[in-house]
Structure 1
Amino acid sequence: MTFAHDTEMSLQAAVTLVNTEDPADDTLATVADLQRFYDEFSYTGRHDADRAELDTIRTLRTRLRELLTAERDDAVDLVNTMLREGRALPQLVRHEPFDWHLHAVDNEAPLATRILVETAMAMIDVIRADEMSRLGHCADEDCNGVVLDLSRNRSRRFCSTPCGNRNAVAAYRARQATAG
């Protein structure tokens, strides 16, 4: 299943945002971290770039995790709630560097509202295509990260390269121990 570019980008942004919440290493701790996130995912529009905005975005992570890991029918309720709260009114827009895509709230809405609504809009495509299996929990036992699998063969199991590498090394060592 290939999703539209804006759907994939919104899903990747949401997963990245959720995965910044690691008790051992929170990677969304400063306004500079938020700026990198904003730039990485090509957000446009209002960006206050202050501590209040950062704190609001940080609180979104719990709701986004709940949505991204929900069962399909539960995700529908969460999406509808988010769209209502954000007063979503989908419209086609075009701005650099992207061609026509959907925005559902005004560019001057707070960044937290735009992230929540854009994620909900992306999840509409996931739910309608019955592709909830594209989202899941990291296979690393010590990680609570979320995985977005956009691979053709649905083979992604880990939220990040470090998690994948740690498990590959552990598996290699286990094989060596039983072989030797």
Structure 2
Amino acid sequence: MASSFKIGERFHEKVKGLLEGESSISSDLKEELEAVKEQSIPFKTVRKLHKLLQENGHPVYLHGLFEDSTLYLPEVITPPRNPQLVARLEKIKAKLANEEYRRITRNVNPQEINQNGTLADFGRQVRSVKAVVVTVFNFLVTVVAAFACSYLGSQYIFTETAARVIAAVIAASVVGLAELYVLVRTMEGDLGEP
């Protein structure tokens, strides 16, 4: 906390003029002002000087005296930290860091990190690929069979080949769309299960 001013040259000049021209200065204030040859003046002395200037009606104001001065703020000395406290804080920080690391990595499976994978993972992948291949093959066989049946069955209705092909394409498209609808619904059901 500030307790004094660091004074500048302007203060020295004005105080010197006051000391020479003023006879009503008390002896203790005069001694304090003469002792201010160093670079700081306490607030107590400044209050006495301010009171003297007010009583005698001097044209010099206090802010004019301290125009080039600054507050003297002593350096704050921080007490040394207790080594036991520092060690305890370090332990707590390490514990919190470990808990945070465990929380972040709790869902990491070390077997998934393995590049080769396990046999169980390989078996699951083969089964899923096999299911996809069977589904695609089933879709193609169904659409081709629907086309063939429609083409052969439409010979009793249409005599021209173009009409038979168009009828077969329409029937195969309807069967293919129906098959896709069932496939999507089945996949939705599989994906929706927990």
**Fold-level similarity (TM above 0.5):** no
* TM, length-normalised to structure 2: 0.16
Q: Which has the larger radius of gyration?
A: 2
Larger % of strand: which?
1
Structure ranking higher on relative contact order (CA contacts 8 Å, 6+ apart): 1
* TM, length-normalised to structure 1: 0.17
Larger % of helix: which?
2
